[in-house]
Structure 1
């Protein structure tokens, strides 16, 4: 069996400026070339260089700017429930310090603060903020209730104190704010602040942040089983290949009779599923029945990232459907590629990225490296030095040059676009489908003291040939969104050695930042974004079955050193 090769990912700083379709049961790959621990370490290093958290904040913040006493009408009612000012102040200080060096465009703390405070009027129209003669003035029903001196433009501590004081006084004067609650006030503050930035920067409140983190990392410890109800019996519907149940004899279709000795009879699926969850490392005994025989399996619960890669064979081709890029996607891909290379007579791979909304950038880069011998997979550029990287890969192509088709559609976004662009620009795969979404901005995540998270856009992504993904997206070499007759014409011309897509593909590769929107729209019009159909797979099989079509489609990508008419 071919040994799975994990690639080396090198992030260099850059200058500013089918047939019997059935899901495989995966075997754990024997890692070669680089020890598995080293591979995991490389991933950790990559994550640390592109993800920031509250630990990046100044260790010793400055004291807040001295503030004058309140107008007497703004003094708090001691019987009125107040805000948790310590939490509020810490969130403000952490968020402002996190934002300032990382946003794509440079803004002062003054900008962030005023943008957020203007959200008060959305919570309560009777509240307003004004800046006059060096003072911040809070008005309630057109009456000034607080005046504070304006801190220096980038005084994090001063602005944190001012915002906290203003929100506290506004709370005392606004029943609407008190009804909203402190979490709602924070949400309103950050919603208004981020309205002035890009569409992807956002504030995630504590409850939702916990859910998001669980999705990314695997969440609560469990057995890694999906249960379902079949003829009044609770059965195993699926076994997560990333979970502790995978190496055991537990399998889909088995009836679950008991968990830790508790009978599942007359129990709901949700109840039995909850029995499978518990502290990481704790034991759970699962009694199952198959073909009239009962067995009990004991395993240790573990955090289980969701499966993101699913595979099946279709004739001589293997289809790998990647639904997202989470913490384990590259490792899942490595295992599946290892299996694929042992399929007798395999003639090509189809990577299905349709509907894939993205995920972890490093996972997309690492996945591309499994199919590239070497070269640049992506470039990221931002104001923060830690956001600037050339993501170069080396370590060996696990597929030994096997032809690859990448399926995309109008919903393919972010990390999925990065993978498609990397394989396309390196002439390692042919992209089939329609123009993709065009999300080429990367967010870094900051965890706030209250458990919330800030997703802040801090870098732009460039494809290996230097064109921006944001707004433009990936233009396919074979377009399936213009109808069956047009697709047939393209395939016929490919068979004769001509790629109809050359014009729009080359035009897309010539685009350089800053992007001219009208020019980008004209390029995308050549192959409009659409939801994928069966035509995508039909075209993929055609190219893999006819090497002349595949070679012609590859030729639509310009050489890396080819001169560009616009001098880019």
Structure 2
């Protein structure tokens, strides 16, 4: 097994390590839709071996395989798979049709073979199972299996996995965000420095034809497929624009598109950067936006706000490199799990990009995973004041492993720890300045801030509470209850902190001592 990189995805998804399997696209295209026990066996071998190799906790394969088979049995209420006295029975309508010897509990290959065979036997007697396609059966088995693990382990079939990879790594496209409407495809936004922008497309344009086909009546998936394509290929769209009397055609040459995750605006000489996620372009784009702010504002630039509210996560190496933009030295994050290669330490290696200018980070209850790594690193280094409410508390690392069908199995691999040592899982990041009670009343909020009522000390935030101590975690999180709002009050408080040096100094406190041992890994984990 060779790992490529760690990634952190969403609160509903995961912090992730991506691995490539050996399946080629030629194999994918030649795979029949019908269930093939030999292909299924290879699928289940890969999946079961992945779980036993990397999952955070030690698990036995027999429990996973039986959970997968019980999920398959739900396709037909008359179908049953049971383990009794060392035999797995395949039953239908109260009659046992096959008995299969159960392998040893940890025999991944044996249980994979049994799973494939048991499904084949079930298809002989169950019409519903016999009509089920291979991809549907894979999804059913793996969904049943990962349900035995944790909330962040999951299976994605090949279509969903293809979209996941496009989100992480980019795709051949034109660079627009769309909304399907009755009359066509509305361009919600045209991304900067993309073929769509270069071709002259604008926000709110309505695409009425794509490659000669009427856009009206197309669903979201059809539109995405039509606009995407090989890099360097072209697509013609017909556009209707307000104040233009008739639709007009535009030819657009596709390029490699990585969805934009960073936006920038200037408010009272303060650069406000909203980071919506972490994909392979996030650090580069954030660096560009910071440089843009410095060019535009020059000596008038008062400071920076990094808005991580509602940021569900993304790639781990990007979370590390984003934190590294602002921290000159010290620990950024560490990860720890069962697998020996899960113990990783990430240290700052770059110069501080913003210097002595004040920095405020905004978080809320939907700030999760990769964004929590950034918030904790900037907070523990006392490089930034963190404002908002307790974050989500998604502190586990997942590894994404590609399966023979080009689907993906995402498995929890490790937990990550803030520079000061506490595990973020279930507890999240507590802000320095708590605005959990969002009244929208800025003067009242600032009065409370100046009195110290809204400030949480570092000793309190970093209190040693075990991740299994439900009462302790509940008490800690209650200090600044999770809030989902992303209103302007947080931004206004951030502005006041930046514009008032004394207020900022009181909120940021003194640096926290962090560990400085371990190695800096550029692309997260590279086990051999």
Partner of 2:286: 333
Aligned residue among 56, 59, 65 for 1:107: 59
TM-superposed deviation, 1:129? 2.9
In 2, distance between residues paired with 1:119 and 1:233? 40
Aligned match of 2:373: 418
Structure 2 residue aligned with 1:51: 18
Shift of 1:494: 5.0
The answer on whether the counterparts of 1:502 and 1:556 sit within 8 Å (CA) in structure 2 is: no
Structure 1 pair 212/272, CA: closer, same or farther in 2 (3 Å)?
closer
Are residue 347 (structure 1) and residue 302 (structure 2) matched?
yes
Give CA-to-partner distance per residue, 1:169-188, whole Å, 9 cap, x none. 11222233235443333222
**CA distance change for structure 1 residues 176 and 282 in 2, over 3 Å: closer, same or farther?**
closer
Is the 8 Å Cα contact of residues 225 and 238 (structure 1) preserved in structure 2?
A: yes
Number of the residue aligned with 1:154: 106
Task: Map 1:214-229; keep pairs closer than 5 Å.
Answer: 214-219=166-171, 221-225=172-176
Correspondences of 1:172-183 after superposition (within 5 Å): 172-183=124-135
3-state SS of paired residue (1:114): helix
Residue 348 of structure 2: SS of its match in structure 1?
strand
Using the alignment, how far apart are the partners of 2:301 and 2:504 within structure 1? 16
Which residue of the partner structure matches residue 478 of structure 2? 525
Structure 1 residues 295 and 144: alpha-carbon distance in aligned structure 2, compared to 1, 3 A threshold:
closer
Deviations 1:159-207 (A, max 9, x none): 1111111111112222332354433332222222112111010111222
User: Structure 1 residue 511 and structure 2 residue 464: aligned?
Assistant: yes
Give the CA deviation at 1:142.
2.9
* Residue 379 of structure 1, aligned match among 331, 334, 344: 334
What is the distance in 1 between the residues matched to 2:255 and 2:503?
47
2:50 pairs, out of 81, 87, 98, with 98
1:291 deviates by 10
TM-score, normalized by length of structure 1?
Answer: 0.76
State yes or no: 1:436 paired with 2:391: yes
Tell me, yes or no, if the aligned pair for 1:102 and 1:458 is still in contact at 8 Å: yes
Counterpart in the other structure of 1:250: 200
Aligned partners of 2:131 and 2:225: how far apart in 1?
34
Q: How many residues are aligned here?
A: 487
Question: Aligned match of 1:280 in 225, 231, 237?
Answer: 231
**CA distance in 1: counterparts of 2:90 and 2:34, whole angstroms:** 18
The Cα offsets for residues 274-295 of structure 1, whole Å up to 9 and x where unpaired, read as: 7754321225678999999x99
Among 464, 470, 477, the alignment partner of 2:425 is 470
* Cα distance change, pair 195–269 in 1 and its aligned pair in 2 (3 A): closer
Cα distance in 2 between the residues matched to 1:98 and 1:441? 17
1:72-221 matched pairs, under 5 angstroms: 83-219=35-171, 221=172
Whole-Å separation in 1 of the counterparts to 2:275 and 2:471: 32
> For 1:123, what is the secondary structure of its paired residue?
coil
Q: Which residue of 2 is the match for residue 4 of structure 1? A: none
Question: Is the contact between residue 494 and residue 548 of structure 1 (CA under 8 Å) also seen in structure 2?
Answer: no
What's the secondary structure of 1:357's corresponding residue? Answer: coil
Larger radius of gyration: 1
Distance 2:37 2:225 in 1: 37
What residue number does 1:310 align with? 263
What is the CA RMSD across the aligned residues, in angstroms?
Answer: 3.7
Per-residue CA shift, 1:67-114, capped at 9, x if unaligned? xxxxxxxxxxxxxx9731122111111111111111110012223222
C-alpha distance in 2 between matches for 1:140 and 1:545: 73
1:66 matched residue in structure 2 = none
CA distance in 2, matches of 1:97, 1:472: 31
Q: Is the 8 A contact 2:212 2:236 kept in 1?
A: no
> How many angstroms apart in 1 are the aligned matches of 2:224 and 2:113?
46
TM-score by length of 2: 0.81
Distance in 2 (alpha carbons) for counterparts of 1:296 and 1:164:
52
Q: Is the 8 A contact 1:358 1:416 kept in 2?
A: yes
Counterpart CA distance in 2 for 1:135 and 1:256 is 61
Q: Secondary structure at the match of 1:186?
A: helix
Q: Paired residue for 2:353, among 388, 398, 407? A: 398
Of stretches 451-460 and 111-120 in structure 1, the one that deviates more from structure 2 is: 111-120
Deviations 1:224-262 (A, max 9, x none): 2457899x999976432353455x4736369799999x8
Q: In structure 2, do the counterparts of structure 1 residues 216 and 159 end up closer, same or farther at CA, with 3 Å as the change threshold?
A: same
SS in 1 for 2:390: coil
Task: Choose between structure 1 and 2 for higher RCO, CA contacts under 8 A separated by at least 6 residues.
Answer: 2
- Who is 1:458 aligned against? 413
1:355 Cα deviation from its structure 2 partner: 0.9
In the alignment, does 2:308 pair up with 1:356? no
Runs of 5+ unmatched residues, structure 1:
1-42, 57-80, 562-568
Residues 550 and 120 of structure 1, relative CA distance in 2, 3 Å threshold: same
CA, structure 1 residues 404+153, in 2 after alignment: closer, same or farther (shift >3 Å)?
Answer: same
| 2:525 aligned partner | none
